Homo-oligomer: A and B are copies of this chain.
Amino acid sequence: MTLDDPFNNPLFNAIDWTPTGLVSCVAQQHDTGEVLMVAWMNREAIRETLATGRVCYFSRSRNRLWRKGETSGQVQRLVELRVDCDGDALLALVDQVGAACHTGRRSCFFRAARDGVLAVIADPIADPAELYGHSESAP
């Protein structure tokens, strides 16, 4: 029973899929430990990610596979894919080129509850207009 078995895939069997066949995936920079983003994957996105070593998600807003960085160039190379105990979340250890966030920030988690307010705690490292051709395009 191996991961390339189309009929009895142990990773797919371990996942508690949503009714629409998705599972959430946390992307973490493999060496620094920084949590970069959370997105969705379906079976095809997982298959492609494992086969190519480049992280592919499923975009709910566009209803299609989303090869991270396909527009922005900010790709994620897969280091390892893990699954949690109850199968409703994946953890992708990745090597992120540039900014994971569509705002041009390294991480999507750039707002924090601090001192009673919601504070912006990170600046963009890239210009979204250059990454996407216009400002703050949705991912």
**B3–A24 contact, CB under 8 A?**
no
Query: CA of A111 to CA of B89 in the docked complex: distance in angstroms?
Result: 11
Contact A117 B2 (CB under 8 A): yes
Given contacts A33-B34, A113-B50, A14 and B83 within 8 Å (CB-CB) = no
Task: Tell me whether A32 is interfacial, beta carbon within 8 Å.
Answer: yes
Q: Assign chain A's interface to a size class.
A: 35 or more
Q: Which of B3, B28, B105, B118 contacts A83 (CB 8 A)?
A: B118
CA distance A2 to B117 in the complex (A): 5
Interface residues of A in 72-118 (CB under 8 A from B): 80-86, 88-89, 91, 101-103, 105, 108-114, 116-118
How many Å lie between the Cα of A28 and that of B91 in the bound state? 12
